Every structure is written in C-alpha cells, then in structure tokens.
Amino acid sequence: MESSMRIIYMGTPDFAVPSLEILLENGFEVVAVVTAPDKPAGRGLQLQSSPVKRCAEEHSIPVLQPEKLKHPDFLATLAGFQADLQVVVAFRMLPEVVWNMPRLGTINLHASLLPAYRGAAPIQWAIIDGAKVTGVTTFFLQHAIDTGNIILQQEVAISEDDDAGSLHDKLMHTGSQVVLKSVQMIAQGNIVTTPQEEGDYPRAPKIFREDCQINWEQPAGVVRNFIRGLSPYP
C-alpha cells in the first residue's frame, strides 16, 4: 500500500522540512504541500517563501498557500488531490473540514511527550521548567488541540547546555524519524493508537514579548533555565 498511498503534507518552518524530506526519500507519494503564504522579509521587504515551500519546489510538488483554510476554492482544490492521509508538522490549527477530509485521517507531529506541554511553545517551556527529558509525539488530529490518540512517542534528553535552539534541532531530526515510522505503520495497516491521559500536566502556551522579562529575584537556576528556554529567541 505504501506506493499507492497519496499524502498531503502541511507545514511551514525549518522544523517541518526534515519530515517532508524523509517521506520523499522513502518513496512516499506526496501529492501536494500546504504551507503559509509568502511574507515580506529582510531590509527590502521582498516576499519570501517558507522553508517547506522551497523544499516542495525542489521536488516539483504542487504547493497550496491558502489565506483562509475554510475558503471554498481551497477546499475544492484540496479535495481534488484525493489524499489518503494528511501529515502536519508545525502548521496552523486546522478546521474539521480539512483534518477530516482524507480517508485515513490527519496526523500531527508535536514537540513534546503528550499530554505534557500541549500548546504552541513546548520546546521553550520544557527548558524553562527545568525538565530533563522531553520528546516528540505523533497523533491523529481531533477537535481539541493536541488531544488526539497517540501513534508513537520518542524521548529526547535535555542537556544542561541545551537551549531552545539546540533542542529544536534535536526534536526536528528525531521527529522526522517518528513521522516516517508512523506513516509506514499507517500504510501497512499496522497501527494501534493510545488515548491521551487526562490530568494536571504542564502546558506550553504561546510566549509573547511581555512574557520575556527576567525576574532577577528568582533563584539562579530558575533564571538560567528561563534564559536557556528563550534563547536564541523566544
């Protein structure tokens, strides 16, 4: 089934590129890529493509860049690709009409060991909290964010020298391996998912500029973790 399974890949930043590349390297048919619209960047404010778009173009994969994910034209185009599976890595929140479209559903890669660190900034918060271990999770999308049934998880150690940048890169590459294995299992019809536990797990809300003020009255270790978690950028 691997050779016949049609995949739509959704992602935007550098974090999402290795997962797309590893699927292509292993012979999976990615029929389209959905990514963010080009945005002005740099001193000249010239339009710049996302890393995922550039990767897709290198492989001659059709690229969709919708402003609105519920726009009828986008939905019609998406449906026209007749995807069996959608794979999402570092993209936007999807409406149900999108994630429920493929025959085999939509899977997502999240940069934590769910249900811990649900939210937009799991890498940063794991370091800020002083965690020694984090990881990646693949799961099927459902209504509430980051709550779907788990496919696979892989732990990644957080060293004393890690900051958000170095941990990002570790999770990016480990995540691509987990995405590949998850898609292989789905393609082979050899998949058993696990519902997420509910409980008082740490969360990972989006970090805003006003959240980045250092409180120098905190213990030195807390301050150090805070700085590491927000480096090289929040």
Asked whether 105 and 74 are in contact (CB, 8 A), the reply is no
> Is the backbone peptide bond immediately before 95 cis, with ω within 30 degrees of 0?
no
pLDDT value for 126 = 98
Query: Residue length, the chain?
Result: 234
**What is the third-level CATH fold of 2-109+135-198?**
Rossmann fold (3.40.50)
Among the listed residues 90, 107, 110, the one whose alpha carbon sits nearest the alpha carbon of residue 36: 90
Identify the pLDDT of residue 234. Answer: 60
* The model's pTM: 0.95
d(CA 234, CA 232): 7
- Residue 112 confidence (pLDDT): 99
- The runs of H, that is alpha helices, within 81-195 are 96-99, 122-128, 164-187
- In whole angstroms, give the CA distance from residue 134 to residue 21: 24
Provide the pLDDT for residue 1.
Answer: 44
What pLDDT was estimated at residue 2? Answer: 47
**pLDDT in tens for each of the 234 residues of the chain?**
445 899 999 999 999 999 999 999 999 999 999 999 999 877 777 889 999 999 999 999 999 999 999 999 999 999 999 999 999 999 999 999 999 999 999 999 999 999 999 999 999 999 999 999 999 999 999 988 899 999 999 999 999 999 999 999 999 999 999 999 999 999 999 999 999 999 999 999 999 988 899 999 999 999 999 999 999 876
Domain spans of the chain? 2-109+135-198
For residue 148, the model assigns a pLDDT of 96
- Placement of tokens 């900034």 in the chain: 121
